[in-house]
């Protein structure tokens, strides 16, 4: 079963719910594997603004409108 026992952040849950592969977002955004993993799994992680802007642009290109405050405590 997909996702069984996986600890996910609110952002990770969003990607799972929408069926978006984190690798696809990572490649479009041009960020590192570790950064994307932290964004999706670490509930206490908050990305830098510059990193979030890259991810936000990648998600917009996929047709999703997202706000940083919805997923990360700033």
pLDDT of the residue at 2: 62
Which CATH code fits 10-70?
A: 1.10.260
CA 10 – CA 14 distance, rounded (Å) = 6
Q: How high is the pLDDT of residue 1?
A: 47
Residue 44 pLDDT > 80, yes or no?
yes
- Domain regions of the chain by residue span: 10-70
**In the predicted model, is pLDDT for residue 51 greater than 80?**
yes
How confident is the prediction for the chain on average, in pLDDT? 92
pLDDT in tens, 53-69: 999 999 999 999 999 99
**pLDDT at 72 exceeding the cut of 60:** yes
Asked if 50 and 26 count as a contact pair (C-beta separation under 8 A), the reply is no
Neighbours of 8 (CB within 10 A): 15
- SS3 of 13-33: HHHHHHCCCHHHHHHHHCCCH
């Amino acid at each position: 079963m997909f996702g069984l026992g996986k600890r996910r952040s609110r952002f990770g849950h969003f990607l799972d719910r929408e069926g978006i592969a984190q690798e696809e977002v990572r490649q479009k955004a041009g960020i590192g594997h570790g950064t994307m993993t932290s964004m999706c799994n670490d509930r206490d992680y908050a990305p830098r603004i510059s990193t979030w802007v890259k991810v936000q642009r990648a998600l917009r290109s996929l047709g999703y409108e997202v706000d940083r405050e919805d997923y990360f405590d700033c």
